[in-house]
Structure 1
């Protein structure tokens, strides 16, 4: 073998990767990504439901404190806003706690306001999220989640 051939001949490890090898790697990455997405997406739905349940428990506690202070729950017209700002009722506003019963009203994980009924259809009061679609009823992510389910 001539010296020129020896100098220009590349080692097997220096040749680089072929198109086939690159395609195999891309397919493997795609498969792994699909597996991760399929396993992680359902967990996001569960996290949203957990947030709703935690918010409902907080709102329920604030409503119970309101009841203990005034002997009544806010009316449907006063709504959950009565936990943050004093209602128009002079008997309540005169004794209203300066900091309110909750700092601010949370939104559900889909960015909608929680709904409130007093008296409720399921108990003394109902606090609930209308789900992802923001409309009553539904299934899956669109299902209503209420304090009667806690």
Structure 2
């Protein structure tokens, strides 16, 4: 019988084990350092629309049905190929990963420097990300 890794474990392995050399990734196993610990990290997705802002150990999760957002504690993990953030949101395990790579949200002309993946309540959501020092390019209000 083949067992599948839970989404959290698979995403953390991807963050920790990718051997490619690009955008701050070190194939020798050095920790990803392209995003400083004090930077704000923003992840966004469409269909369904969602957003996560992580800053100072706190995540704020917003959706069209929850514009003010839900605040929750997150723990940051720097792997070899990006960052992971874990926490509990509304009683559900929550994992977000941010990895280097050109990304488009598919709805605007914005270009993002990171790819984002969210695992929440058995769902996997995909989107894009940016940080304080590595912003998106394109119209600020498309």
Scaled by the length of structure 1, what TM-score is found?
0.23
Structure with more of its chain in helix, by fraction: 1
Which of 1 and 2 has greater Rg?
1
TM-score by length of 2: 0.24
